[in-house]
Amino acid sequence: MFAILADRTYRHLFLAQVVALLGTGLATVALGLLAYDLAGDKAAMVLGTVFTIKMVAYVGIAPIAGAFANRLDRRKLLMSLDMVRALAALCLPFVTEVWQVYGLIFLLQAASAAFTPTFQATIPDVLPDEDRYTRALSLSRLAYDIENILTPTLAALLLAMVSSGTLFVGTALGFAASAVLVMSVLLPRAQATEHRGVYDRTTRGIRIYLATPRLRGLLGLNLAVSSAGAMVLVNSVVLVRGQLGLGNSALAWAMFTYGAGSMVAALGLPRLLDRIPDRPVMVTGAWMMVAGLVGLALTVLTDGLTWPLLLTTWAIVGFGASAVQTPSGRLLRRSSHAEDRPALFAAQFALSHACWLICYPLSGWLMTVFALVPALSVLAALATGGIIAALRLWPSGDPVALDHHHDDLPPDHPHLRAHTVTHRHPIVIDDLHPHWPTGHGVIR
């Protein structure tokens, strides 16, 4: 898996991702401390609003950014967005009002909503071979997991020597280093596209996404990941500190276990995906998350919550989440032409975060109002619904090439002159194939 780091362009992009993630992790810790300084006992409300602003920016900005990403120089765009994020982070230590935090967070997350899909859509062009790209996806997943493990430790070490506001300087340095690394390599040019209206460009990625069966299935699996993941990310502090009566270090260990489970999956997936198709791997990972939540609920009912039980469950959920998320880039790559890739990655970014936008507050509300077992049961049921939807929307087998014919094209159309009336080639939603072939192979 690590052999692909011999590619200089990908190596620099991977390092850019790592340093930016470390910076983002430091900002998460610093934001919690800043919220407490500004709002005291109402800090939770401030942080809840901050996370909502983050998700709204992701859902609203990403499709618009994806629509225009292929019309701009990728390297300059990514560098500019990194510098916007760095400047926003540098301003945060100087705020004196909560509304200023909200404004700067929206600016930072809007830049992230444009940066991340563009960055993700660039990797398949840097590594066009699917095997190498699969290993890049696992490395990317590994980078997220390492960040989850290292950032709390790094933040604790820094806070022993400097003030909390200095963590934002570390965030800015991370984004600045990312910009330097991006500028140090030449990136493939975005594929030229024909002129389209603003509405067409803005909605194109989502239209391709929702018209492709495997991606509609991916959306159901995204819901499963966000349902189980929200239980971990929102309620771990309540379970560790409140119900088990453990300290801050125990919370760090709980999150470490979740990340470790994800890392194990990310390390093993490349070889597994060489032998097994994406669908069964991803569906199995989703069922693992449901099994973890249901098993925890049943055990709590009979024996109560214990520390080893919580750690084991979080490791299972982390493993399952990684098994779903890591191969998703392969599905997006397979389902788009190069010129539509930024828009499609932006659609995945927006739609997956829309699932998180639903599950974050739902998880917290269920835990607060109904307690642990009902929260686990409802979130497991929601995840199960996502898996069932995926199984129905994403047919097994999922052939890349399909026999089909066009009722919507004249006989002398260049596409038909290049093929027989009924022909077979890989199907990707585009202007000639605006809909997936029906059961009779008809594109209307």
Which is nearest to 54 in space by CA: 116, 118, 108?
108
Kindly state the tokens that stand for 204: 């194109």
Long-range CB pairs of 152-157, under 8 A, 24+ apart, other chains included? 152/25, 152/29, 152/252, 152/255, 153/252, 154/22, 154/25, 154/26, 155/25, 155/26, 155/29, 155/30
Q: What digits encode the pLDDT tens for the residues 7-21?
A: 899 999 989 988 888
Which residue carries 């493993």 as its tokens?
A: 319
Distance separating alpha carbons of residues 372 and 366, to the nearest angstrom: 8
CA angle 416/419/422 to nearest 5° reads 85
Residue 186 to residues 10, 15, 18, 122, 125: CA-CA distances in angstroms? 10, 15, 19, 11, 12
Domains of the chain with bracketed CATH: 1-190 (1.20.1250.20), 212-398 (1.20.1250.20), 403-443 (no CATH)
* Residues sharing a CB contact under 8 Å with residue 163, sequence separation 6 or more, in sequence order: none
Distance separating alpha carbons of residues 320 and 269, to the nearest angstrom: 11
pLDDT of residue 341: 82
pLDDT of residue 24: 83
pLDDT (tens place) for every residue of the chain, 444 residues total: 577 888 899 999 989 988 888 888 788 778 767 776 787 766 656 766 777 788 888 888 877 777 666 677 888 999 999 999 999 999 998 988 888 988 998 999 889 888 888 888 888 888 888 888 888 888 887 777 677 666 766 776 777 787 777 888 988 999 999 999 999 988 877 655 555 555 566 678 888 999 999 999 999 999 999 999 989 888 887 888 888 988 767 877 887 888 889 889 988 888 898 899 999 999 999 999 999 999 999 999 999 999 999 999 999 999 999 999 989 988 988 888 877 888 888 888 889 989 998 988 888 889 888 989 999 999 999 999 999 999 999 988 777 676 666 666 666 666 666 666 666 777 777 766 767 776 545 555
Q: What digits encode the pLDDT tens for the residues 124-156?
A: 888 888 888 888 888 887 777 677 666 766 776
CA angle 89/110/216 to nearest 5° reads 135
Distance separating alpha carbons of residues 138 and 298, to the nearest angstrom: 33
pLDDT of residue 196: 57
pLDDT of residue 88: 93
Which is nearest to 221 in space by CA: 136, 303, 282?
282
pTM of the complete model: 0.81
pLDDT of residue 43: 63
pLDDT of residue 413: 66
pLDDT of residue 215: 95
pLDDT of residue 331: 92
The upper half-sphere exposure of residue 226, i.e. CA atoms within 13 Å in the direction of its Cβ, equals 22
Q: Are 143 and 21 in contact (CB under 8 A)?
A: yes
pLDDT of residue 361: 85
pLDDT of residue 307: 95
Residues paired with 404 in a beta bridge: 423
Distance separating alpha carbons of residues 4 and 284, to the nearest angstrom: 27
